[in-house]
Amino acid sequence: MEARLNVFGSPLAGKFLRHINSAAKALDSSLPAATQELVKIRASQINGCGFCLDMHTKDAEKAGETAQRLNLIAAWREAKVFTDAERAALELTEQGTRLADGAGGVTDEAWANAARHYDEDQLIALTGLIAVINAYNRLNVITQQPAGDYVPGMFG
């Protein structure tokens, strides 16, 4: 599979990606690293972004995430391996990613549940992270970026 565009070789795409990366870095320290990767992986599963799934599962594994938890992210509701806070983040991720699928967007119940586990700065970070990973997913899915060649740390 070949990508439709060489986003990694384009100066304009590079400029765009630097801005998205800056936004993502501004959010990094507010949430546990494991939660961040769970959010990125779940949104990428929903959006069918193989490139991001390759990247974030490998990054999570390198950071010490277990194969069991990685394998159960798509079935997080039935899996006993996630904390209540992680479950709240995953629910917010699903509803925030599937905006077009549900009337009304994110439910008050999902928001209240997340607010029970995360303070205001963490909610901003979580919401921003969901928005950022969805932007990455869309860029990669639209341009058909191939998956499988990512090596942890290759982007800095």
Q: Does residue 141 register a pLDDT over 90?
A: yes
- Annotated domain spans of the chain: 32-142
Q: Does residue 124 register a pLDDT over 80?
A: yes
Q: What pLDDT was estimated at residue 51?
A: 97
pLDDT average, residue stretch 68-90: 98
pLDDT average, residue stretch 26-38: 89
What's the length of the chain?
156
CATH architecture for the domain at 32-142 = Up-down Bundle (1.20)
pLDDT average, residue stretch 124-148: 96
pLDDT average, residue stretch 50-68: 96
Query: Which residues, including other chains, have CB under 8 Å from residue 28's CB and lie 6 or more apart?
Result: 36, 125
Q: What pLDDT was estimated at residue 153?
A: 86
Rounded Cα gap, residues 90 and 82, in angstroms: 10
Residue with the larger pLDDT of the pair 26 and 75: 75
| Mean pLDDT value across the chain | 94
| Residue linked to tokens 């009304």 | 104
Query: Which residues, including other chains, have CB under 8 Å from residue 32's CB and lie 6 or more apart?
Result: none
Residue with the larger pLDDT of the pair 28 and 105: 105
Q: What pLDDT was estimated at residue 62?
A: 94
Q: What pLDDT was estimated at residue 30?
A: 84
Q: What pLDDT was estimated at residue 1?
A: 77
pLDDT average, residue stretch 58-76: 97
Q: What pLDDT was estimated at residue 101?
A: 85
Q: What pLDDT was estimated at residue 65?
A: 96
